[in-house]
Amino acid sequence: MWPFAKPQSYLGVDIGSNGIKLVELQKRGKYTYLYTYGFSDANLLSSNDAGFLDIDNTAGLLQKICAKAKISSRQCLASLPASDVYSALLTVPILKEEDRKAFILRQIEKLIPIPLNDAAVDFKTVRKAKGIVEDKFKTASEEVFFTAAPKKLIASYTEIFKKAGLNLLSLDTESLSLISSLIGKDLSPILLIDMGAAQTDFMMVENGVPVIFHSLKFGGGSFTKVLAKTLGLSLTEAEQSKRDLRSEAVFPAIFNEPLAPIVEAIRYMLELYAKQKDGEVARPEKIILTGGSSLLPHLDTKISEIFSIKAYLGDPWARVVYSENLKPILDSIGPRFATALGLVLKKIEA
C-alpha cells in the first residue's frame, strides 16, 4: 500500500484594530484549494495600551472564528499592520561582507522613529551592482529592501496566537502579503491601492518589490458621510445605500468630491515615481485596487479615465480553486481577504 500524501494546509490570519480575517488553504498536487474562511468585525484595541491590541479579547475572538470555520490546521501565518511597520528601499554601496550588515543597520537606524534595539529588522537585496565595480568597491551599489517592526508589537502577536492555541510560523507585512495575492510573479511596474474605511495606502511596486509608499488618512468612510449628509440618512443607512449603488451603470457623480483626495494622492505617486527614474518617461502599467472600500461602483473605470492607465479590482482568489457556488460571496469579500490569502499563497508557492 502507498499512502496518499497529506495535503499542506495553512491558515492566513489578518488581525487589525477593527477585526479579524482568516482563511485556510490546502495544497494538493499542483493546485491550491480553499478549505475554509471566517471573519469578525470588532474593536480589538486595548483600553490600557494605546495603539496595541487587547491580547485576551483578540485571542478569544480568534478562537471563536477558528471553531466556527472548522479549521483543520493549526499552522498559522499572520500579518502586521502596515501603519506599524517601517519599510523602505535603500541604495547602498557594495561592501565587503563583514562590513555590509553594520552599514545597512546604521542607515536603517536613521530612518525609523524608534531605537534600533527596540526593533526587529529584516532586509534583503533586491537589485545588485548598479555602476562599475572597482577594486575598492567605491562606485557600485545595490538596492536593499528593509522592514522594521517594534519588538513589543511582535511579542503581543506571538502571545495572541499562543493563547488561541495556534502555531505561529511567521509574521509578514500587509504590503508584502498584498503583493503575493494580487501581483504574484508580475514584474511590471504596478500601483497598488489599498482602500480601508479610514485610511488608504498607496504602494508603487516594481519587480515585485515596493519602491514607494504613501498613506492617506482618508477612506471609504468619507464616501459614506457624503452620502449620509446629501440624502439625510444615518451612517448605517448610508452604508447600505452605498452598497445598493453597485448596480449603477457609471461612477456615481455624488462621489466625485470625496474622490478628489484619492486622485491627488495617485497623481503624487506618479510624480514621485517619474522623479525616481531621473527624467525617464515612467508610469505604472496598471493600477490594482483592493480593500473593502475599493468596491465603490465603477471606481476602477473612473480612475482609468482620469489617468489613462488600466485600473481594475484585484482578485486575490485568482490562483485558488473553490466551489463555483461560492463565487458570488467570495467576489464580494475578496478585497477584505487579500492580505490573509497572500500570507498563505506566499508560503505554499515558495
Shared domain for 268 and 329, answered yes or no, is no
d(CA 123, CA 105): 9
Shared domain for 59 and 206, answered yes or no, is no
Determine, yes or no, domain membership for 68.
yes
Mean pLDDT of 79-104: 89
Beta bridge partners of 348: none
Shared domain for 45 and 180, answered yes or no, is yes
Shared domain for 66 and 90, answered yes or no, is no
Name residue 252's amino acid: P
Determine, yes or no, domain membership for 190.
no
Determine, yes or no, domain membership for 76.
yes
Determine, yes or no, domain membership for 1.
no
Query: 99 lies in which domain range?
Result: 85-149
Q: Give 125-164 pLDDT, tens digit per residue.
A: 877 655 544 444 455 788 899 999 999 999 999 999 999 9
CATH code, domain carrying 130: 3.30.1490.300
Q: What is the pLDDT of residue 192?
A: 97
Shared domain for 227 and 275, answered yes or no, is yes
Question: Helix, strand or coil for residue 289?
Answer: strand
Shared domain for 78 and 89, answered yes or no, is no
Which residue, among 183, 213, 181, has the nearest Cα to 200 in the 3D structure?
Answer: 213
Q: What is the pLDDT of residue 129?
A: 54
Shared domain for 26 and 66, answered yes or no, is yes
pLDDT > 70? residue 226:
yes
Shared domain for 58 and 158, answered yes or no, is yes
Shared domain for 105 and 57, answered yes or no, is no
Mean pLDDT of 241-249: 76
Shared domain for 324 and 291, answered yes or no, is no
Q: What mean pLDDT, rounded, does the chain reach?
A: 88
Q: What is the pLDDT of residue 218?
A: 86
Q: What is the pLDDT of residue 132?
A: 46
| The three cell numbers locating residue 263 | 486622485
b/e burial code for range 244-258 (CB count within 10 A of at least 16 → b) = ebeeeeebbeebeeb
Taking CA atoms, 250 is separated from 239, 301, 302, 305, 338, in Å, by 19, 8, 8, 12, 25
Mean pLDDT of 219-248: 83
pLDDT > 70? residue 7:
no
Taking CA atoms, 289 is separated from 195, 230, 334, in Å, by 7, 26, 11
Which residue, among 205, 208, 183, has the nearest Cα to 318 in the 3D structure?
Answer: 183
Determine, yes or no, domain membership for 189.
no
- pLDDT tier for residue 229 given thresholds of 50, 70 and 90: confident
CATH code, domain carrying 333: 3.30.420.40
pLDDT > 70? residue 50:
no
Q: Give 247-303 pLDDT, tens digit per residue.
A: 777 888 889 999 999 999 999 999 999 988 776 678 999 999 998 888 888 999 999
Determine, yes or no, domain membership for 207.
yes
| The three cell numbers locating residue 307 | 489617468
Mean pLDDT of 197-218: 89
pLDDT > 80? residue 5:
no
Determine, yes or no, domain membership for 194.
no
Question: Helix, strand or coil for residue 201?
Answer: strand
Residue 209: its H or E element: strand 209-216
How many domains does the chain fold into? 3
- pLDDT tier for residue 314 given thresholds of 50, 70 and 90: very high
pTM: 0.87
Determine, yes or no, domain membership for 255.
yes
- pLDDT tier for residue 78 given thresholds of 50, 70 and 90: very high
Shared domain for 27 and 91, answered yes or no, is no
**How many CA atoms, within 13 angstroms, populate the side-chain half-sphere of residue 33?**
11
Shared domain for 267 and 179, answered yes or no, is no
Q: What is the pLDDT of residue 204?
A: 95
